[in-house]
Amino acid sequence: MRLQLPGRKSATIPRMHGNFWSCLSGVAVAAAIALFPSPVFASEGQDTCLMCHKYPGLGRYEVDANKRVVKRVFYVNEDLHKASYHGKLNCSDCHEGVDKIPHTDAKKVDCGKSCHVIEPSTGKVFSHKAIVEDLKKSTHGVEGSRAKNKDDLPACRDCHANKPYQLGFQGQTKSMAFLQVCHQCHEEQAWAERFFRHVNYRASIRRPSAEVVKLCSKCHANPGVMARHKLDVIAGFQDTYHAKAIQYGDVEVANCLNCHAPYALGFSPHRITSKRNKNSPTNADNKRATCSQSGCHIEATKAFATGSKVHISPVKAASLMEEAEESADVARNREVFQARILHWIKLFYQILIAAVIGGLGGHRLLDLYATHRDSKKGGH
């Protein structure tokens, strides 16, 4: 099997029992212990960790809670790490309790902990704690979710890989020129470059629409996960005009976040709430504001924004049509009615097309046959 590792084009790994990799990492660790006495590991700093973690083969297969074999890669590419958002941090700033070899004492990374970095606007120690708290209260968090089983709610890492800053060509050339201005005052060139890249990156479109849809689809297009949370699979989105524009490469057209967490209206992807929440941008009372945000359907009327789902899934539409009995829920009845009307229109055209094209085609073929027959008889 081919395995893509950061920093290497690819590595071919034999498909065999997971123990092989456990053994290999064990050998590497043992060799490292032999070469460097334990006090070295006790000291902080990336270089120490990279003594082992710089080797691309470092990793193992594990059996997870669902009894599936998962691949764990412990290799760290130093160049990629330095270019990443967290490139300035030491390993131990996030990975606490890795004093022992093997790291049986390692704690789970807590993105909400305080960093060893000072946040310049307040002068306080920097932390993602506020965002972690927001997420907890959101529909994706343990406090905000209505799900009974909260095991598979998304964590920070499900959406955020510690990627290198990637600026478009235009951004890079601007950085090159503009950085010279920064360097007039800020002596530390690496710091200035990092700061500039941070601001430039955050000011531009962070993720193209196609990437956002792909990211959300990891869970929201997964029938198993959606069934566990009693939600609809977002298959219907693929039929929308927004989805088509995204497929053609439009990066500005509305993706999931533009409607479910529009930054322009003061929302954030970390505070996504259900449409039942009165403050949600997808709540019926707020949808008009969401649709008519700057650059979108600025003339949107309330009727345009409400009254029907933006991307109902075909599975949901089919199940709605099976609901023969009228329920007490008015909104539900309306959904059933709408699904039926759309179904009838499709059915009408399917029958009409089959009849017209079949009849027309049959007539033409018959005409060809008759002309052929006549020409054989010596007629026209």
Q: Which residues bind another protein (CB under 8 A)?
A: 241, 244-245, 247-251, 297-301, 303-310, 338, 341-342, 345-346, 348-349, 352-353, 356-357, 360-361, 363-364, 366-373, 375, 380
- The closest alpha carbon to 227, from 147, 281, 130, belongs to 147
DSSP state of 165: P
Q: Taking the complex as a whole, how short is the minimal distance between the CB of residue 138 and another protein, in angstroms? A: 26
Q: Taking the complex as a whole, how short is the minimal distance between the CB of residue 80 and another protein, in angstroms? A: 26
Closer to another protein by CB, 190 or 356: give it: 356
Closer to another protein by CB, 126 or 348: give it: 348
DSSP state of 263: G
- The closest alpha carbon to 289, from 274, 273, 304, 311, belongs to 304
User: How many residues appear in the chain?
Assistant: 380
Q: Taking the complex as a whole, how short is the minimal distance between the CB of residue 2 and another protein, in angstroms? A: 22
- The closest alpha carbon to 90, from 32, 30, 43, belongs to 43
Cα 5 to Cα 92, 214, 321: the distances in Å are: 22, 21, 48
Burial label for 104, CB within 10 Å (0-12, 13-18, 19+), is exposed
Burial label for 380, CB within 10 Å (0-12, 13-18, 19+), is exposed
Q: Residue 182's Cα: distance from chain center in Å? A: 34
Closer to another protein by CB, 180 or 247: give it: 247
Q: Taking the complex as a whole, how short is the minimal distance between the CB of residue 172 and another protein, in angstroms? A: 17
Closer to another protein by CB, 191 or 337: give it: 337
Closer to another protein by CB, 100 or 373: give it: 373
* Long-range pairs for 26-31: beta carbons < 8 A, 24 or more residues apart: 26/102, 28/52, 28/55, 28/57, 28/58, 29/101, 29/102
Q: Taking the complex as a whole, how short is the minimal distance between the CB of residue 340 and another protein, in angstroms? A: 12
Q: Taking the complex as a whole, how short is the minimal distance between the CB of residue 308 and another protein, in angstroms? A: 4
Closer to another protein by CB, 160 or 364: give it: 364
Distance CA 328, CA 81 (A): 57
Closer to another protein by CB, 42 or 354: give it: 354
| Cβ pair 115, 125 in contact under 8 A | yes
Q: Taking the complex as a whole, how short is the minimal distance between the CB of residue 11 and another protein, in angstroms? A: 27
